[in-house]
Amino acid sequence: MALDLLVITASSGKNLELAERFAASGQARGLQAQVLDLTTLPLPLYNPRQAVSNGLPEGLTALSVLLASAPRWVICAPEYNGSIPPLLTNAIAWLSVQGDDFRQLFNGRPIVIATHSGGGGFTILTALRLQLAHLGAHVVGRQLISTNNRLASDASIDDLVARLEQLTPIATDS
């Protein structure tokens, strides 16, 4: 069965739990959904000089293939110092230097963005929306903020998965 929804998390804590809830919502809707935990990937820090001398890191091609195989994504990421966590920025940097078109993996892809944050969570979502739009993604208008004082509701997660499902997916390589 082909992958319908990839839920990416840039944290092994509350954002991983949030990602698992998104995947469960997709599965309840009959979608083939999978969680990708970026904290488990051994990607070195992107450095253009080292990228030229050492080439692409091991595992990057497999990561690209997995991402390309899913026509829709959810990204769950915590707010780090008022912005995108370094782990996610690093992965995006590596993914964008693989070929001739830095937007190739992102261009036209429907994406939901969400956060569980100890702070307000607004700046991560603003920064991530700007970056993904620059890369050509179709970021769903509604986003999700979950905090320790106000956890995301199942209804909000289900609504976002439904909205994502309504968007025309990009063609995948699978």
Report the C-alpha gap between 22 and 24 in whole angstroms.
5
**Residues 6 or more apart from 162 whose CB is under 8 A from it?**
29
User: What is the average pLDDT value for the chain, to the nearest integer?
Assistant: 93
CA-closest candidate to residue 127, choices 89, 72, 71: 89
Residue 174 has pLDDT above 90, yes or no: no
What's the pLDDT tens digit per position in 41-72?
Answer: 999 999 999 899 999 999 999 999 999 999 99
What's the pLDDT tens digit per position in 5-28?
Answer: 999 999 999 999 999 999 999 999
What's the pLDDT tens digit per position in 99-147?
Answer: 788 888 999 999 999 999 988 899 999 999 999 999 999 999 999 999 9
Distances (CA, A) of 6 to 19, 112, 120, 148: 9, 10, 25, 25
Q: Which fold has domain 5-118+128-164?
A: Rossmann fold (3.40.50)
**What pLDDT is attached to residue 72?**
97
What is the value of pTM for the model shown? 0.94
List the Cα angle 1/24/127 in 5-degree steps. 100
Report the C-alpha gap between 37 and 11 in whole angstroms.
7
Q: What are the extents of the domains in the chain?
A: 5-118+128-164
Length of the chain, please? 174
Quote the percentage of the chain above a pLDDT of 70. Answer: 97
